[in-house]
Structure 1
Amino acid sequence: MTILIITHSQDNESILSVMAAIEARGEKVFRFDTDKFPTEIQLDIAYSNGSQNIIIANEQQKLNLKEVSAVWYRRIAIGARIPRSMDKQLRQAAIQESRTTIAGMIASIKGFHLDKVVNIRLAENKQLQLQVAEEIGLKIPRTLITNNPEAVKQFAQECQQDIVTKMLSSFAIYDNLGQEKVVFTNPVTSEDINNLDGLNLCPMTFQEKISKALELRTIIVGDNVFTAAVDSQAVHQARYDWRREGVALINAWQPHDLPKDVEQKLLKLMAYFGLNYGAIDIILTPDGEYVFLEVNPVGEFFWLENSPGLPISQTIAELLINCSHQPKSLFDQTKVIHTVN
């Protein structure tokens, strides 16, 4: 049997690490770089007289999806290599048809899904994340999502500390050279409070600023909980968002032991969304409180394998292999294995 990894050709080293861990255990793995479809990767989907065959072929190998025992859904960039010289409307139609084709292909795969796309899409709703997290007992920041300037002014007055602003979506701006400029979490100044007219064009998320002793990233793989911590306050530009200085801090992460009750609550959160994998961001305050920020259902972990050396790729490989042996049925595509009290 074969494990299918769905990603794109520019994904980071986590793909190669998991592939190596799978192959080291004597299992087969096939990498589907979605940006190469439909221009370089061929897909044949045939339904005839009660039989079905789905064949995917890249430059090196060919795979019948009947052989797929588990799927790791990582990243997707379908149609990225369709020429931009193509008529704009026709190009968009080609991308949409390609996306629909691949979505159907993924949905039809029997076997274990890490994780099912429908569960990932539900879990990407950060408003729902905050609601569920608070209901299961996790502490969350005071939050306002609005396009109403007066509501922001009132919110700022109510918060005992300063406020910050962030986006609910993965928002980025691209310069003239096509370079991505990510919009990080930023402080809201008094000048900003008096200049909120643009909210009528785009709602934004505002949160009470939480004092930070450490920032944590918790990676959950099945029942395994890995946590690392970094002192983001040690680097000036990282005070509001450690990602802004992610490279400078890349070797500063240390292992961190979460309290068992916090771990159990995080596993309950994962179970609610039907997720076996998640990358969770948490703030540890100077008073020792753990404040949940968000869970990224396909979030990154690659740097944590180098510093502080967490065995995440190995654990993902083991989960994919171990769950490959469950019955192959369209009605049994996922197995949330969290054990919570």
Structure 2
Amino acid sequence: MILVLTCLDDPTADMVIDRLNERGACVARFDPGAEFPAYAELSAWFGRFPSRGVLVTRSREVVLERVRSVYYRRPTPYLPDSPSQVERFSGAQARFGVGGILASLPCEYVSHPWAITAAEHKPLQLTTARRVGFDVPATLVTNRVGDARAFAAEHGPIVYKPLRATPYIDPGGEPATIWTAQVGPDDLDHTVGRAAHLFQARVDKVADLRVTVVGRRVFCVRIDSGLLDWRQDYDRLSYTIVEPPPGLAAGCLAYIEHLGLRFGAFDFALTADGAPVFLECNPNGQWGWLEDATGLPIATALAELLLEERP
């Protein structure tokens, strides 16, 4: 049994499930935040006897100790927006009960949810990137306007990027996001003190590299766009499958091993002399559009990783 933990509307997970089905694997898909307890039941026994458990969904009965591997993608949060007191209690019990059980299975994870949560913190990403030998731009995390201005004076031009993507509604009422943007001295005022901000020296780049790591397999794509943040307009992107620059693949593998991951979606800026500069690593990043655009067998690599025999 392969257990896939994700929301209902997840085309990326669909691609992996299709590859698993092609190989005759038994797959159970479950979204604990949305399905439990209304549409699913779960029991787990602990104590002197070997741990055991059962999960019953609308379409499957899963004997938990027989789960071979878990693909952790994008499950719904346990707590809704603006929860009531009852929802807050119920959601907390589900997160620590159901979530705790699913995180304790004696099997392989791609990747373990607790490792993903830790690896989503940008300060840890930057520290780990330096540790494995990547070139990292000068970076400051602060809410002190004086330090921000001093950093801009020393390292400018600089960019701002959010430490964590959060839902955002623009003044017209439309869903939006905050892209990486260049900021100048006039942008650094007292409002810096209202939150933690990440400022970074702008990299003089000619292109970007998206490096997707699945287990020990490394897929490297050059993205040309002319944009500071290529995510801002996918229609302007062009893709070229390339070999990773020397040392890049080994560094990426060392990075995910250090953080206990089995997957990583790395972003590097590529300078004119061909040097990659680390920007970030999304431990659970999107890749489906990249497979569609390039034909890289990323879904197949994930399916094969989930089906690997444990040593």
Q: 1:241 aligns with which of 229, 244, 247?
A: 229
Q: Is the 8 A contact 2:245 2:275 kept in 1?
A: no
1:269 matched to 2:218? The reply is no
Q: 1:209 aligns with which of 185, 202, 215?
A: 202
Give the partner amino acid of 1:106.
L
1:236 matched residue in structure 2: none
Q: CA offset at residue 37 of structure 1?
A: 2.4
Check 1:94–1:264 CA distance in 2 against 1; reply closer, same or farther (3 A cut): same
1:182 matched residue in structure 2: 177
Q: Is the 8 A contact 2:5 2:32 kept in 1?
A: yes
Q: 2:166 aligns with which of 168, 171, 181?
A: 171
Q: CA offset at residue 96 of structure 1?
A: 1.4
SS in 1 for 2:219: strand
Distance in 1 (alpha carbons) for counterparts of 2:153 and 2:50: 65
Runs of 4+ deviating beyond 6 Å: none
Q: CA offset at residue 253 of structure 1?
A: 1.9
2:29 matched residue in structure 1: 31
Distance in 2 (alpha carbons) for counterparts of 1:227 and 1:249: 19
Q: Is the 8 A contact 1:9 1:33 kept in 2?
A: yes
Q: Is the 8 A contact 2:212 2:219 kept in 1?
A: yes
Q: CA offset at residue 138 of structure 1?
A: 0.8
Pick which of 223-232 and 59-68 moved more: 59-68
Check 1:187–1:298 CA distance in 2 against 1; reply closer, same or farther (3 A cut): same
Q: CA offset at residue 25 of structure 1?
A: 1.2
- Structure 2 unaligned spans of 5+: none
Give the partner amino acid of 1:112.
E
Q: CA offset at residue 44 of structure 1?
A: 2.1
Q: Is the 8 A contact 1:172 1:183 kept in 2?
A: no
1:104 matched residue in structure 2: 100
Check 1:179–1:5 CA distance in 2 against 1; reply closer, same or farther (3 A cut): farther
Matches within 5 A, 1:171-320: 171-174=166-169, 179-193=174-188, 196-233=189-226, 239-246=227-234, 248-249=235-236, 252-320=238-306
SS in 1 for 2:247: helix
Q: Is the 8 A contact 1:37 1:79 kept in 2?
A: no
- Give the TM-score, by structure 1 length: 0.84
Check 1:249–1:41 CA distance in 2 against 1; reply closer, same or farther (3 A cut): farther
- Give the TM-score, by structure 2 length: 0.92
CA RMSD of aligned residues (A): 2.2
Distance in 1 (alpha carbons) for counterparts of 2:81 and 2:213: 39
Q: CA offset at residue 176 of structure 1?
A: 8.8
Check 1:44–1:55 CA distance in 2 against 1; reply closer, same or farther (3 A cut): same
